[in-house]
Amino acid sequence: MNDKSSDVARRITDELASCGVKLVASLPDNWLMNVIATVDRDPRFVHVPVNREESAIGLCSGAYMGAMGSAALMGASGFMTVIYAITKINYSYEIPLFLMVTLRGALGDHHKHHVSNGLYLRPVMEAIDLPYQVIDDARDIGLISRAYRHSRTFCRPFAVLFTRDLLRGHGGNGGHG
Amino acid sequence: MKYLDAFKVLAKHRRDEIVVTSAGNSGQAWWAATRDSEATFYLDASMSLSTMWASGLALARPELKIWAFMGDGAFCMNPGMLMVERAMNLPNLTHILVSNRVYGATSNAALPRNDNDYAAIARAMGLERVFAFGALDALERDFPGVIGGNVRGHTFVVLEVEPFSDAEQKLEQPPFDGPELKYRFGREIERRTDCNIFGYRV
């Protein structure tokens, strides 16, 4: 990882902490490894690596009912497995949920096997009326806390989608804006 | 032992525990045994997430004791949850696996196998506080010891019960709409712990 990528990871975690996130439940994605490592060594967070993405949905939803801020961090493929959990738990009971997901299959992804995510990730989110915000530029990292607060205000899930350029430190001004 | 009888024993020995139910039968049975409309979250048909949901709550509110029910049908969908529970090792969480050997909420449809040893699975996952009850008198006698006192880590309890009869399948479901349940339960958590879940207190 380059210095810019590490700086982006630090700024993402600072943004999470600023809006009161304590619990971070994660499953890995190569693009997220720097963010996950930064969360893991940051004492402001309780980092819980989970066995599958649905478990992150359960954990974060329960934490909300105990007044603990939380975020679920996962790859696009993992998100595609949690549609039922989100619609059942977060829609039925109107429990807010904050998701941070990689925008796999988009411009800049070198991996052919993410073609399905490129084709369907955003259409699936739109099909279940799950609002999202793409973050491609380090100057937009502040949108994380706005999105988090939006999920709390409207008692619904909200996702931020991180691009490869952002997480690799290539987006915008490289994380120093 | 009979499903409802087991739940009546649990209800009898419940002190101030917060309860999270799983799909179908456990919600019906707990509602029949307690009519609790404040301190129980009837999590409907989450397909294996009741104890993860309860773990998030238990992490957030260590001053509360939490019981989380899960049917063995749900357990079989996501046994890896025990790895997460073991890692979190929350002393205020008791995972109560209700083993009726069928998908009780789906007309007692058969599980892929009906001879799983759930206590052995839990021990193999590294859990240490594992208990199993197959008879009502043992549950009545020993359950208070399982939940009493200060424990150092997560507790896993297996209840071997008979599937619901046809008549029991018709027991009333907890009648709450999702948002009402959220606010009833959340206000109870706020009252007990002086926390602020919803951004405003009433």
- Does the interface predicted TM-score (ipTM) exceed 0.85? yes
Give CA–CA dist B53/A60, Å, rounded.
7
Residues on chain A bordering chain B, Cβ-to-Cβ distance under 8 angstroms: 22-23, 46, 48-52, 54-55, 57-68, 70, 84-85, 88-89, 92-95, 152
Taking the C-alpha atoms of residue B125 and residue B75, their distance in angstroms, rounded to an integer, is 13
pLDDT digits (tens, 9 = 90+) for B38-79: 999 999 888 999 999 999 999 999 999 999 999 999 999 999
Nearest to A58 among B56, B64, B83 (CB): B56
B178 touches chain A (CB under 8 A): yes
In this structure, are residues A175 and A4 in contact, taking their beta carbons and an 8 Å threshold? yes
Report residue B189 CA to chain centroid gap.
17
Q: Contact, A47 vs A81, CB < 8 A?
A: no
Pick the residue from chain B with its C-alpha nearest to A58: B53
**From residue A14, how far is each of A9, A19, B22, B180 by CA, in Å?**
9, 9, 36, 34
**Phi (first) and psi of residue B125, to 5 degrees:** -80, -5
**The pTM is what?**
0.96
Which ranges constitute the DSSP H helices of B23-176? Answer: 25-34, 50-60, 72-77, 81-88, 118-124, 136-147
CA distance A64 to B125: 27
- Asked if the Cβ–Cβ distance from A51 to B60 is below 8 Å, we say no
Strands A157-162 and A97-102: parallel
| Separation of alpha carbons A167 and B137, rounded Å | 58
Query: pLDDT digits over A153-173, tens only?
Result: 999 999 999 999 999 998 654
pLDDT digits (tens, 9 = 90+) for A128-160: 999 999 999 999 999 999 999 999 999 999 999
